[in-house]
Amino acid sequence: MQRTLYDSDHEDFRAVVRNFVQTHIEPNDEKFAAEGRLSRELWRAAGDTGMLGLCVPEQYGGAGVNDYRFNAVMDEELTRAGMAYACGLGVHTHVVSQYLVHMTTEEQRARWLPDFVSGELITAVAMSEPSGGSDLAALRTRARRDGDQWVINGSKIFITNGATADLIVVAVRTGEETGSRGISLIAVEGDAPGLDRGRTLRKIGQHQGDTAELFFDDCRVPVANLIGEEGAGFRAMMEHLAQERLASAVCNVAHARHVLELTCRYVTERYAFGASLGALQHIRFQMADMVTELDIIQTYVDACVAAHVRGDLTAIDAAKAKLKSSDIQSQIVDTCVQLHGGYGYMEEYEVARAWRDARVTRIWAGTNEIMREVIGRSLNLREPSKH
């Protein structure tokens, strides 16, 4: 089905991102995977293209574009190079940007955003904790006020860009309340005293991007690094999680489509029993099922992107997009590995690496079990009243 989401400006930007991928990512992919992180040079090159400051106001060096479709284009093209690129650069551009642009003071924006846009300042967001996982209301990391400083104690885990970030937006508990109350957001500079990066975690896939543990041992940061109002952090995280989950859905569909394209070529070129695999009816039926599922979820995700541009995407619809896109992605990538036979399990084949990289999409940005809970609660299901 012909997509109608994008216009010529978006396609022009796609060409810019595609050139960036071909010039700066593809020649260095093995290097990034071996080093387990994206280089500073890559970040600066991304800044030069204008990719990192899409929604940042022009006065700070950004594009000042209030159109999430440009973010979606960026994710689609980066994902074709590898999910780690869309993840690392996307956390910076789509997630942290929301806090730094919409919740900061003028002084904070002037201090952080110019380098954020140029790629000199790499950012991360630290929410998940070893004991809490997707339950953000249960976080234990605390910050207490000591004069003109916050003193932070606790730990975070599974932090994308955590090993290299120069600025980390950290969710902490600043009040005595339990649950979602009393949670605030504080920006921690990478060289803050008391911040220990811990180890860079060894993941099953997405080896090009760094993921780290973070430890805060009487970590001191200025009071001026509080983002937004004290105690308003949980509400802000919930508000911005919809965009993070939408970004995940965009990447999931783009990744599945890329793997399916690879497999279409493979079954055409691979011969067995005197004919190409694609000539076998069973294979054709499998391909037909996959492309149909993919087109259906693409239509829904595109509708969610359009809704987000209009400003009326709900958290429930974003959860549906993240849930279903990751399930379909996993099914498609797994089937594509099977269609490659033994070659599909070989590291040198892109489909094998894609299969490995895709598994986490049912876990991050809130597990799919959490997505089902979010969606289920919206149905207002209750036990029948007893009379």
- Neighbouring C-beta atoms of residue 102, cutoff 10 Å: 13
- Give percent helix, percent strand, percent coil of the chain, each to the nearest 5: 55, 15, 30
Q: Is the domain of 158 the same as that of 247?
A: no
Q: Which element (helix H / strand E) includes 173?
A: strand 167-173
Domain-located, residue 314: yes
Residue 285 exposure: Cα atoms within 13 Å on the Cβ side: 3
One domain for residues 113 and 98: yes
Final residue of a domain: which of 229, 256, 281? 229
Q: What is the CA radius of gyration of the chain?
A: 22
Q: Are 193 and 222 in contact (CB under 8 A)?
A: no
Q: Are residues 252 and 331 in the same domain?
A: yes
Task: Give one DSSP letter per residue of 288-331, joined into a string.
Answer: HHHHHHHHHHHHHHHHHHHHHHHT---HHHHHHHHHHHHHHHHH
Tell me which amino acid residue 40 is: R
Structural domain including 151 reads: 123-229
Pick the catalytic residue from 244, 269, 293, 347: 244
Based on the fold, state whether residues 277 and 301 are members of the same structural domain.
yes
Say how far apart CA 155 and CA 198 lie, in whole Å.
Answer: 10
CATH code for the domain of 176: 2.40.110.10
pLDDT at residue 385, rounded to an integer? 61
Say which CATH number the domain at 238 has: 1.20.140.10
244 catalytically annotated:
yes
Q: 78 has which bridge partners?
A: none
Question: What was the pLDDT predicted at 386?
Answer: 61
Q: What is the pTM of this model?
A: 0.94
In a domain, 90, yes or no: yes
Do 239 and 360 sit in the same domain of this protein?
yes
Any domain includes 359: yes
Kindly state whether residue 382 falls inside one of the protein's structural domains: no
Q: Which two three-digit tokens encode residue 116?
A: 């954020």
Largest CA distance in the chain: 79
Quick check: 127 and 91 in contact, CB under 8 A? no
- Looking at the fold, whether 353 and 263 belong to one and the same domain comes out as yes
- Residue-wise burial string across 323-336, b where 16 or more C-beta atoms lie within 10 A, e elsewhere: bbbbbbbbebbebb
pLDDT at 275: 84
**223 and 294 together in one domain:** no
Exposure string of 202-240, with b = 16+ CB inside 10 Å and e = fewer, is ebebbbbbbbbbbbbeebbbeeebbbbebbbbbebbeeb
**pLDDT at position 138:** 80
Classify residue 321: in a domain, yes or no: yes
CB 253 within 8 A of CB 378: no
pLDDT at 384: 64
**Is the Cβ–Cβ distance between 108 and 224 less than 8 Å?**
yes
What is the model's pLDDT at position 133?
Answer: 65
- Whether residues 255 and 370 share a domain: the answer is yes
Question: Which pLDDT value is given to residue 326?
Answer: 98
Q: Does residue 264 belong to any structural domain of this protein?
A: yes
Q: How many domains does the chain have?
A: 3
Helix (H, G, I), strand (E, B) or coil at 169: strand
Name the burial class of residue 197, with classes exposed (0-12), middle (13-18) and buried (19+) by CB atoms within 10 angstroms of its CB.
Answer: middle
Regarding whether 294 and 244 lie in a shared domain, the answer is yes
SS3 (DSSP) at 383: coil
Same domain, 236 and 368: yes
Percent above pLDDT 70 for the chain: 98
Final residue belonging to a domain, choices 67, 98, 120? 120
Whole-angstrom distance, CA of residue 103 vs CA of residue 111: 14
* Cβ proximity of 192 and 134 under 8 Å: no
Element holding 122 (H helix, E strand): none
Q: What is the pLDDT of residues 91-120, one digit of tens each?
A: 999 999 999 999 999 999 999 999 999 999
Last residue of a domain, one of 229, 252, 280: 229
Token pair in block for residue 316: 């429930």
* Same-domain status, 89 and 210: no
CATH assignment at residue 116: 1.10.540.10
Residue 384 domain flag: no
Element (H, E) at 221: strand 211-222
- 139 and 270 in a common domain: no
pLDDT at 134: 66
Low-confidence ranges of the chain (pLDDT < 50): none
HEC secondary structure over 35-85: HCCCCHHHHHHHHHHCCCCCCCCHHHCCCCCCCHHHHHHHHHHHHHHCHHH
Please give the C-alpha separations between residue 281 and each of 87, 107, 285, 299, in angstroms, as whole numbers. Answer: 37, 64, 6, 27
Torsion angles phi and psi, residue 218, rounded to 5: 50, 45
The two structure tokens encoding residue 230? 């004290």
Structure token pair of residue 239:
């508000």
C-alpha 339: how far from its chain's center? 28
Question: Is residue 386 situated within a structural domain?
Answer: no
